[in-house]
């Protein structure tokens, strides 16, 4: 499991207790109710719609966040979605700081020891 995958699991447990998964190109994509715009939706039926997803980006270990409803300025997609990095920074800054730290640690280990 990559660090990104680990944090995706963490953030999903904050977002919703009912996450749908879908296999795309052999990678798991996660669908859930958008944490940014579901509160603006009036009807219960639409509110249950899993309009947002975290989908793997082809040929990378990264994911992108896309909300098909795009009702709030935070989930409106420009250029086909937001990176998981930015999504986490917006949604949960505390967890984002941990994520950044962990990414830096790994980078340090892999850089071949310049110290
Ligand atoms: Zn949304």
Report the SS3 class of residue 6: helix
Please list the residues that pair with 23 across neighbouring strands.
Answer: 28
Kindly give the distance from the C-alpha atom of residue 69 to the centroid of ligand 1, in angstroms, as a whole number: 5
Whole-number Cα distances in Å, 39 to 35, 36, 48, 94: 8, 7, 11, 22
Average pLDDT taken over every residue of the chain: 89
Please compute, for residue 51, the number of CA atoms within 13 A of its CA located in the half-sphere on the CB side.
Answer: 21
The pTM assigned to this predicted structure is: 0.85
Distance between CA 87 and CA 46 in Å, rounded? 22
Give the pLDDT band of residue 109 (cuts 50, 70, 90): low
At residue 114, the pLDDT reads: 43
At residue 110, the pLDDT reads: 56
Kindly give the distance from the C-alpha atom of residue 33 to the centroid of ligand 1, in angstroms, as a whole number: 8
Report the SS3 class of residue 28: strand
């Amino acid at each position: 499991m990559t660090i990104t995958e680990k944090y995706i699991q963490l953030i999903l447990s904050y977002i919703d207790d009912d996450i749908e998964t879908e296999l795309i190109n052999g990678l798991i994509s996660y669908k859930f109710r958008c944490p940014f715009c579901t509160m603006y939706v009036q009807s219960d039926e639409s509110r249950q719609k899993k309009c947002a997803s975290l989908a793997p980006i082809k040929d990378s270990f990264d994911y992108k966040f896309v909300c098909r409803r795009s009702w709030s300025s935070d989930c409106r997609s420009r250029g086909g979605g937001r990176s998981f990095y930015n999504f986490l920074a917006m949604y949960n800054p505390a967890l984002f700081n941990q994520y950044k730290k962990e990414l830096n640690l790994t980078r340090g280990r892999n850089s071949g020891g310049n110290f």
